[in-house]
Amino acid sequence: MIELQNVTKTYNGTVKAVDSINLTIKDGEIFGFLGPNGAGKTTTIKLIMGILRADQGTIRVNGLDIAASPLEAKKQLGFAPDSPNMFLRLKGIEYLNFMADMYDVSAEDRKTRIRELSQRFQMSDVLNDRIQSYSHGMRQKIVIIGVLLHNPPVWVLDEPMTGLDPRSSFLLKEMMREHADSGKTVFFSTHVLDVAEKVCDRVAIIDKGHILFCGTMAEMKEHFSRNESLEKMFLELTESHEE
């Protein structure tokens, strides 16, 4: 579970990237975080991860305050950022072992997890190649494998489908569903509305740092018009907020 209570983040003392937002992401659900570029999605995710510190408000991960107990809270989390361009000089297997070391994954467990995940994402044959030789999609996959090595109960994924081939995208959605159905939490941001409509149990829409809507897809559709597409509803939300 992820809980945000009255969370605000201001840049340069003037720009409120996140403005007094309240969200509760429950166990057992896939929660989609939607919004246009610059809406506050990535800032919110960095706050949840403890990469940024909120100016005010409280963030808890499975009951642990990210500000008061950062190490304990971060052990609950698996985070895939929106850019996979990191540790490019490492070989894939070196990166995965580094991630396993960071989360105290035993030698036996990491061997099993690396084998299983690399096979699922069809990365077994390139683990001994340097990450800088990977395509964008391959880099995204190695990062996701690294995220999942310690089997975190809470997944936080920032635009995770970007750059993935159709098979890997389908696989990740399938794994997200499996994770949520096991009673754990998946929180991911996207600006691809079709993905959110097909995958999410609930969604929130953020624009200019404000939460404009939070609820199920059925509630969103009922709130607007049954004949309108999710894209039109999304545009109506953001346009009405601008007005």
Q: What mean pLDDT value characterizes the chain?
A: 88
**Which tokens go with 232?**
């039109």
Task: Report yes or no: 89 and 130 within 8 Å, Cβ to Cβ.
Answer: yes
Counting other chains too, the contacts that 110-115 makes at CB distance below 8 Å and 24 or more residues apart are: 110/149, 113/148, 113/149, 113/151, 114/145, 114/149
Please report which confidence band the pLDDT of residue 233 belongs to, taking 50, 70 and 90 as the band edges: low
Q: What is the mean pLDDT of residues 148-173?
A: 88
Task: Report yes or no: 48 and 66 within 8 Å, Cβ to Cβ.
Answer: yes
Over 60: is that where the pLDDT of 240 sits? Answer: no
Q: What is the mean pLDDT of residues 139-165?
A: 89
Least reliable range by pLDDT among 5-19, 82-96, 218-232: 218-232
Say how far residue 170 (Cα) sits from the centre of its chain.
16
Domain boundaries, the chain: 1-76+155-160+181-243, 84-152
Least reliable range by pLDDT among 36-50, 183-197, 217-231: 217-231
Task: Report yes or no: 17 and 47 within 8 Å, Cβ to Cβ.
Answer: no
Q: What is the mean pLDDT of residues 80-92?
A: 87
pLDDT for 212 equals: 85
Q: What is the mean pLDDT of residues 83-107?
A: 91
What order do you get walking across the sheet with 64-65 strand by strand? 15-25, 2-11, 56-61, 64-65
pLDDT for 238 equals: 57
Fold of 1-76+155-160+181-243: Rossmann fold (3.40.50)
Say how far residue 225 (Cα) sits from the centre of its chain.
29
